[in-house]
């Protein structure tokens, strides 16, 4: 089975997409578009301050005639623009860290499942160790040592979350490795790299995708959490977590600062999780008979 | 030079006694502090949350009255025998909470203990000008300083008297957990991380303490402290940001107490490394910061503008040194002259400093053409870099400085005297002035030295005074208390209105 056949089988399975999932996909596409187009559609520079327009409510019209649709934060910055720019940061960190952990996790999982022996023991015990350490705690410690920053955050999140992928990839590889066509290509003289990449990977991609969507939502939340603690994205760059972190101080006086990034975060994670659940149902071997 | 100072303590006692009589049935006062005390041993940590608690357990050799004048507490009078020798007369009617009498021996012991390098007290630098102290009889202590030291009395305001016999019996570790002092309150129970309960010392020599029990609680989250105050779980809360004062003012039964302190908000500018080694760049930074906007908008008026790194309650303060007016065009001009357009400046900070203030200053500097990046780290890392070698000390940092001694010697000497760990600046003329001002007892001479020193700082801008900070408290409307410029929290100064 190659990537081409995988994609035809997937498209056959997904021919009937239920309406809620279509809606969720629409929300996600809109969010990605808004985040990508933020520099062009944001009404103001997200770090432009006006100390005399601090903590103004949504709909406030500023001195320059600009309307603050989401209100302003504690330094008089336009909250709508900050939420829009923050979307890019949140999505970017989550996407990149999922890619990093997928690459690391899946490679290690396939290697462990294919070569077995001591390689398997070393990798899988390492996975057990990593899984027993709370990931957020590990991330907090690593950031505290390395210092904050966008790329560091991506690496920290990516490199603390790979074991989950390794477990899935390992189990799937074990199953796939015994299938006749794999044995056939081995006998035909294909090398390990070729077999893993061309034959095993396409067969385990489905379950990995399911893990990745679940992790994606979690990464957005973790980034928000770390930024909330001041360990994530540094000011004045906005991220939803850091905006909410500031807003917490003012929740009594200026509820809008936490509300808008909070709602955005909720919709994004909710959509990703719904999509992930649906994907899992579609790809679960046990539901294949449907 | 010899000066004789006698105190008007009797009058003060009479006043205190009269407020004590007005007491109602309020028996327990609850105070929310952001943190629990780091130590209860008064010779160890000196930070607001620690001394707010332990200064009620101990008496001090000297204290400050309502107007900020230094008056005696355990000392009744003092005489300079010569420029480096001073003799204190000690009260003979004071007892520690375990019943033993406080004598000159205890006073001498307390001084020797805090200047002993083996104790490794963080307060050592405040007291290390003292050479020695001896009790010459039961009520007399003779103290000598290494050189004439004008800030001595101001520093001694912070010296708590500990009982020699008890300390020697139990040792420092045990003393920190079960301290005994001669103050108005004795330690009841210290629940680490939760609260510290103090019980009134009914035999206290000055007057009857106003509340039977005082509970200091550690409540790190400011919203929780405010909620505690509003719901009556706390009677007094410390460390409010100006933005939170409105909601306390609007609530019935609560009020905001604030006082201009000796603390000064300032910018440190690295004069020994990076783009800021050029004095024009440092001056441009000074012109680019709109201090009045910071005070009016961010501090909501809970701050007063200063032109120097110093505030009116501080000896050496002058309003005769001109400040830098907010002038972004002038700043851009200077930056152009220095060829520093787009210069990358690293702004060090930690969670201890106002994030909003740091970000507002960052924006003001970026507006005139700098490229300022904020490096936030934990306080320990921040201090390590700020106090380390200039190359790694960033370009800028915000600080809020107080020596709790109300003397310029405790501010601009440690901040800018070359050789000090805080200084990233060296100017021999400046060093000579601050050295001279710390080794003469002549007040006029000192004032003149500090004025010249502040003028040099204005030209060289190794730092920039931003504002005189206000301490802001939230209190129950029935609490009578006037907070003081040195941010002390003496329960004896409080009372409850019926």
**DSSP readout, B370-409?**
-EEEEEE--HHHHHHHHHS-GGGS-SEEEEEE--SS-BGG
Chain A residues near residue B359 by CB distance under 8 angstroms: 49, 75, 235-236
Nearest CA in chain B to A143: B377
Residue of A47, A48, A49 to mutate when probing chain B, most B C-beta within 10 A:
A49
Test A236 with B247 for CB contact under 8 angstroms: no
Residue B28, φ and ψ in degrees, nearest 5 = -120, 125
Selected residues 341-380 of chain B with any CB under 8 Å from a CB in chain A: 351, 355-356, 358-360, 362-363, 373-378
- Tokens standing for residue B234: 């706390």
Chain A residues near residue B293 by CB distance under 8 angstroms: 51-52
- Under the banding of pLDDT at 50, 70 and 90, the label for residue A139 is confident
CA distances to A180, B4, B39, B119 from B436, rounded to whole Å, are: 92, 24, 35, 29
Test A52 with B293 for CB contact under 8 angstroms: yes
For B290-306, what is each residue's pLDDT tens digit?
A: 999 999 999 999 999 99
Test B374 with A235 for CB contact under 8 angstroms: yes
Q: Would you say residue B11 has pLDDT above 50?
A: no
Mean pLDDT of A256-285: 86
B13 within 8 A of B206, measured Cβ to Cβ: yes
B227 inside 8 A of chain A by CB: no
Chain B residues near residue A253 by CB distance under 8 angstroms: 243, 246-247
Cis status of the peptide bond prior to B21, with omega within 30 of 0: no
First to last CA, chain B: 50
The number of beta carbons lying within 10 Å of the beta carbon of residue B209 is 24
- Tokens standing for residue B426: 């060296």
Task: Give residue B45's pLDDT.
Answer: 85
Nearest CA in chain B to A251: B223
- Tokens 């890019």 label which residue? A88
Give me the residues paired with residue B258 across strands. Answer: B472
Task: Give residue B177's pLDDT.
Answer: 93
Give me the residues paired with residue B92 across strands. Answer: none
Residues 6+ apart with CB under 8 A from B159: B60, B61, B62, B110, B111, B114, B127
- Tokens 């005390």 label which residue? B37
- Tokens 């957005």 label which residue? A220
Averaged pLDDT of chain B: 90
B299 inside 8 A of chain A by CB: no
Test B359 with A147 for CB contact under 8 angstroms: no
Residues A3, A203: Cα–Cα separation, whole Å: 9
Task: Give residue B2's pLDDT.
Answer: 44
Write out the H or E segment, with its range, that includes residue B424.
none
A35 within 8 A of A234, measured Cβ to Cβ: no
Which of A242 and B25 is assigned the larger pLDDT? Answer: A242
- Under the banding of pLDDT at 50, 70 and 90, the label for residue B15 is very low
Task: Give residue A179's pLDDT.
Answer: 87
Residues B230, B163: Cα–Cα separation, whole Å: 40
Test A253 with B243 for CB contact under 8 angstroms: yes
Among the CATH numbers 3.40.50.720, 3.90.230.10, 1.10.3720.10, 3.40.190.290, which is that of A3-18+85-287? 1.10.3720.10
Q: Would you say residue A55 has pLDDT above 50?
A: yes
Test A249 with B241 for CB contact under 8 angstroms: yes
Test B294 with A249 for CB contact under 8 angstroms: no
B20 inside 8 A of chain A by CB: no
Task: Give residue A2's pLDDT.
Answer: 54
Domains of chain B in sequence order: 4-20+41-170 (3.90.76.10), 262-469 (3.10.105.10)
Chain B residues near residue A78 by CB distance under 8 angstroms: none
Give me the residues paired with residue B64 across strands. Answer: B70
Q: Would you say residue A289 has pLDDT above 50?
A: no
Give the predicted TM-score (pTM) of the model. 0.79
Radius of gyration of chain B (CA): 23
Test B223 with A75 for CB contact under 8 angstroms: no
Task: Determine the length of chain A.
Answer: 290
Q: Would you call B136 helix, strand, or coil by DSSP?
A: strand
What does the buried/exposed string (b/e) look like for B297-322 if buried means 16 or more CB atoms within 10 Å of the residue's CB? Answer: bbbbebbeebbbbbbebbbbbbeebe
> What is the distance in angstroms between the Cα of B477 and the nearest Cα belonging to chain A?
21
ipTM over 0.90: no
Residues B370, A186: Cα–Cα separation, whole Å: 62
Q: Which of B351, B178, B5 is nearest to A235 (CA)?
A: B351
B486 within 8 A of B314, measured Cβ to Cβ: no
B265 within 8 A of B304, measured Cβ to Cβ: no
Residues 6+ apart with CB under 8 A from A7: none
For B311-329, what is each residue's pLDDT tens digit?
A: 999 999 999 999 999 999 9
Mean pLDDT of B396-417: 92
The dihedral built from the CA positions of residue B338, B339, B341 and B345, taken in this order, carries a sign that is: negative
Residues B35, B352: Cα–Cα separation, whole Å: 12
Nearest CA in chain A to B298: A51
A49 inside 8 A of chain B by CB: yes
- Tokens 């520690």 label which residue? B96
- Tokens 């009520």 label which residue? B139
Q: Would you call B20 helix, strand, or coil by DSSP?
A: helix
Task: Give residue B358's pLDDT.
Answer: 94
Q: Would you say residue A227 has pLDDT above 60?
A: yes
For B135-177, what is each residue's pLDDT tens digit?
A: 999 999 999 999 999 999 999 999 999 999 999 999 999 999 9
Residues A16, A225: Cα–Cα separation, whole Å: 37
Q: Would you say residue A14 has pLDDT above 50?
A: yes
Chain A residues near residue B376 by CB distance under 8 angstroms: 148, 230, 234-235
Chain A residues near residue B244 by CB distance under 8 angstroms: 252
Per DSSP, B339 falls in state T
Burial class (CB in 10 A: 0-12, 13-18, 19+), A62: middle
Which of A147, A236, A250 lies closest to B243 in CB terms? A250
């Amino acid at each position: 089975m190659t990537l081409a056949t995988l994609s035809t089988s997937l498209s056959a399975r997904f021919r009937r997409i239920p309406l809620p999932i279509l809606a969720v996909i629409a929300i996600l596409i809109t969010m990605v578009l808004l985040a990508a187009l933020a520099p062009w559609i944001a009404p103001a520079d997200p770090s432009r301050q006006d100390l005399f327009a601090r903590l103004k409510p949504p709909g406030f019209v500023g001195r320059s005639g600009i309307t603050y649709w989401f209100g302003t934060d504690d330094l008089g910055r336009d909250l709508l623009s900050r939420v829009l720019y923050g979307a890019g940061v949140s999505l970017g960190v989550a996407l990149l860290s999922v890619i990093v952990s997928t690459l690391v996790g899946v490679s290690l999982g396939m290697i462990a499942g294919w070569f077995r022996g001591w390689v398997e023991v070393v990798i899988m015990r390492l996975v057990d160790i990593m899984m027993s350490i709370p990931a957020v705690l590990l991330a907090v410690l690593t950031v505290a040592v390395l210092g904050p920053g966008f790329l560091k955050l991506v690496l920290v999140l990516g490199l603390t979350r790979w074991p989950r992928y390794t477990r899935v990839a390992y189990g799937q590889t074990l199953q796939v490795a015994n299938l006749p066509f794999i044995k056939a290509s081995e006998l035909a003289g294909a090398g390990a790299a070729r077999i893993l990449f061309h034959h095993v990977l396409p067969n385990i991609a489905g379950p990995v995708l399911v893990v990745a969507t679940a992790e994606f939502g979690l990464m957005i939340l973790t980034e928000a959490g770390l930024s909330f603690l001041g360990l994530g994205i540094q000011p004045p760059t906005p991220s939803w977590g850091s905006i909410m972190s500031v807003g917490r101080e003012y929740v009594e006086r200026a509820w809008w600062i936490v509300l808008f990034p909070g709602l955005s975060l909720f919709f994004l994670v909710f959509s990703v999780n719904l999509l992930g659940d649906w994907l899992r149902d579609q790809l679960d071997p046990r539901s294949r008979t449907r | 030079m010899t000066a004789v100072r006698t105190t008007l303590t009797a009058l003060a006692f009479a006043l205190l006694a009269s407020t004590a009589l007005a007491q109602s049935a309020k028996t327990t006062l609850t105070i929310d502090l952001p943190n629990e005390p780091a130590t209860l041993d008064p010779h160890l940590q000196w930070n607001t949350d620690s001394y707010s608690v332990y200064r009620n357990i101990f008496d001090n050799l000297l204290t400050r009255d309502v107007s900020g004048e230094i008056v005696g507490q355990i000392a009744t009078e003092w005489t300079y025998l010569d420029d480096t020798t001073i003799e204190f007369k000690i009260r003979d009617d004071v007892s520690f909470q375990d019943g033993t009498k406080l004598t000159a021996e205890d006073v001498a012991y307390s001084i020797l203990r805090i200047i002993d390098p083996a104790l490794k007290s963080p307060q050592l630098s405040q007291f290390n000008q003292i050479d020695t102290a001896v009790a010459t009889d039961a009520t007399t202590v003779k103290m000598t300083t290494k050189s004439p030291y004008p800030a001595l009395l101001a520093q001694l305001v912070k010296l708590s008297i500990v009982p020699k016999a008890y300390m020697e019996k139990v040792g420092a570790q045990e003393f920190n957990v079960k301290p005994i002092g001669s103050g108005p309150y004795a330690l009841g129970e210290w629940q680490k991380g939760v609260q510290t309960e103090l019980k009134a010392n009914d035999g206290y020599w000055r007057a009857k303490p106003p509340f039977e029990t005082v509970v200091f609680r550690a409540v790190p989250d400011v919203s929780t402290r405010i909620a505690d105050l509003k719901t009556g779980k706390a009677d007094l809360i410390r460390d409010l940001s100006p933005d939170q004062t409105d909601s306390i003012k609007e609530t019935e039964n609560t009020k905001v107490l604030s006082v201009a302190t000796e603390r000064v908000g300032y910018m440190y500018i690295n004069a020994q490394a990076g783009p800021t080694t050029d004095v024009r760049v440092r001056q441009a930074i000074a012109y680019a910061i709109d201090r009045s906007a910071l005070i009016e908008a961010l501090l909501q008026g809970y701050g007063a503008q200063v032109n120097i790194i110093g505030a009116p309650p501080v000896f050496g303060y002058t309003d005769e040194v001109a400040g830098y007016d907010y002038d972004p065009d002038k700043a851009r001009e200077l930056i152009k002259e220095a060829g520093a357009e787009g210069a990358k400046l690293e702004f060090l900070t930690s969670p201890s400093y106002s994030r909003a203030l740091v970000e507002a200053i960052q924006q003001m500097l970026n507006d005139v053409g700098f490229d300022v990046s904020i490096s936030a780290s934990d306080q320990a890392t921040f201090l390590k870099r700020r106090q380390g070698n200039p190359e790694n000390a960033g370009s800028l940092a915000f600080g809020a400085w107080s020596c709790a001694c109300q003397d310029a010697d405790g501010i601009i000497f440690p901040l800018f005297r070359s050789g000090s760990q805080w200084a990233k600046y060296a100017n021999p003329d400046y060093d000579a002035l601050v050295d001279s001002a710390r080794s003469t007892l002549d007040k006029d001479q000192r004032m003149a030295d500090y004025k010249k020193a502040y003028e040099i700082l204005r030209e060289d801008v190794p730092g920039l005074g931003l504002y005189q900070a206000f301490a802001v408290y939230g209190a129950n409307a029935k609490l009578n208390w006037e907070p003081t410029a040195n941010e002390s929290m003496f329960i004896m100064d409080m009372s409850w209105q019926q």
